[in-house]
Amino acid sequence: MSPRAPAFLLCVVCGLVALPGGAEAPVAPGKAAPVAPKPLPGPAKARARELGIPFGGQAGVLDAITDVPGVEVGHSTVISGQGRLVVGKGPVRTGVTAIWPRGKVGTAPVFAGTYALNGNGEMTGTHWLNESGYLYGPVLVTNTNSVGLVRDSLVAWAVKRGRSWELGLPVVAETWDGVLNDIDGFHVKQEHVFNALSTAMGGPVVEGAVGGGTGMVCNGFKGGIGTASRKLPEAEGGYTVGVLVQCNYGKRRLLTVAGVPVGEEISDLQACTTGDWAPSSPLITDMPSCTKQGASRASYPEGMGSIIVVVATDAPLLPHQLGRIARRVPLGIGKMGGLGEDVSGDLFLAFSTQVTLPATPGPVATVSTLDNERMTPLFEATVQATQEAILNAMLAADTMTGADGIRVFALPQDRLMEAMRKYGRK
């Protein structure tokens, strides 16, 4: 993970301690690594905007989904163990991320819409969301096998606060982290969900291998959580669009950044194993041993993953218009080389923080709506911010070794920039 911003992270019975430069140090068996309320000190890893990657548009102050007023993000990160996979014990590389549209204390729903590019995934609660046009409460993102637990935990959190009616149909989305994580061990627990919900905050968002993105792989590099934003010129309304992704999709050879075939330029550093045993998963066969440059070929089905994208805006949009925003997300993914592969769950949700309820209780609410002919700048902002959030997820993540000693490498910033210069894009 990147130490670039304050955040509240929960790391339970950690088996690895982060060292400067992204190295990993083992912790003695049976002992928990210290839990730090703030990231370890060290130089911040540069984000796409700081590197001058030309995605276009003007970023918000934070270049994050939290540039949209009221939005809060929280993570719980669960890391423990190393070595050979023992189901139920680890190694564990997983977590949960919470996105509150109106913050933890906000009780009014927001207008929302969804879209699925490829439905090989799960996002609970969307039947009522699409029927009513309302999103009540947070969006949570975790690993595939933890969707049910996270969903039930949010309901339990709501019951404790007298909000079970309001939050009875939670929105929980997932991507599969079974390459690096003991996904069948069900290591996300209720306390992790409660922590992500209760410690969510505005301001800078920690990215990379944190929260729900802890064990994710993106375009063959270490992936995870990424975010970005765009601020429209006043002549186009001055609205803000923020995007948060959980990036776990894509084929290395197709990875494209601002038109540059980065995946072709960095074809090594493929996932490899540090152990002297075969990986347990039937999906991973003939994985080569690690060298300094990793493997030279992919050893498990590329494109096997998913991507979840949440788009926030303060533009006055109605649910059907937010569905239009969600349908523009795949354009950004496509520009990065995504295909919406058969085994990928590519699910997107967009919401607006405009007022939805009357100031005084009553049967009629007066809301605003942007003219459809003024939506095109919002479409462009969504495409730009989606691309940048995907790249930020990879730039923030460090190399990680997980279940069965499988190692997934970070995207090397120096080689990325070398490729950008080679094609005249920097």
8 A C-beta contact, residue 411 and residue 260: no
Number of neighbouring beta carbons within 10 Å of residue 307: 32
Give the integer Cα–Cα distance in Å for 79 and 277: 22
Q: What six digits make up the tokens of 368? A: 């605003």
Beta strands 221-222; 92-100: pairing state: unpaired
Q: What residues pair up with 97 in beta bridges, in sequence order?
A: 75, 141
Give the integer Cα–Cα distance in Å for 373 and 246: 31
Q: Could you give the C-alpha distances from 69 to 61, 72, 138, 313, 371, in angstroms and in order?
A: 12, 9, 15, 9, 22
Q: What residues pair up with 351 in beta bridges, in sequence order?
A: 112, 312
> In this structure, what are the phi and psi dihedrals at residue 176, rounded to the nearest 5 degrees?
-95, 120
Q: Could you give the C-alpha distances from 19 to 1, 208, 229, 351, 367, in angstroms and in order?
A: 11, 15, 30, 38, 50
**Vertex 25: Cα angle to 20 and 31 (nearest 5):** 130
> Three-state SS string across 58-116, please?
CCCCCCCHHHCCCCEEEEEEEEECCCCCECCCECEEEEEEEEECCCCCCCCCEEEEEEE
Give the integer Cα–Cα distance in Å for 222 and 18: 15
306 in active site = yes
Which residue among 63, 344, 398, 404 is the active-site one? 344
Which residue among 76, 306, 314, 404 is the active-site one? 306
8 A C-beta contact, residue 40 and residue 54: no
**Residue 66 contacts by C-beta under 8 Å, 6 or more apart in sequence?**
72, 73, 202, 203, 204, 205, 227, 242
346 in active site = yes
Which residue among 314, 346, 398, 404 is the active-site one? 346
Active site residues: 306, 344, 346
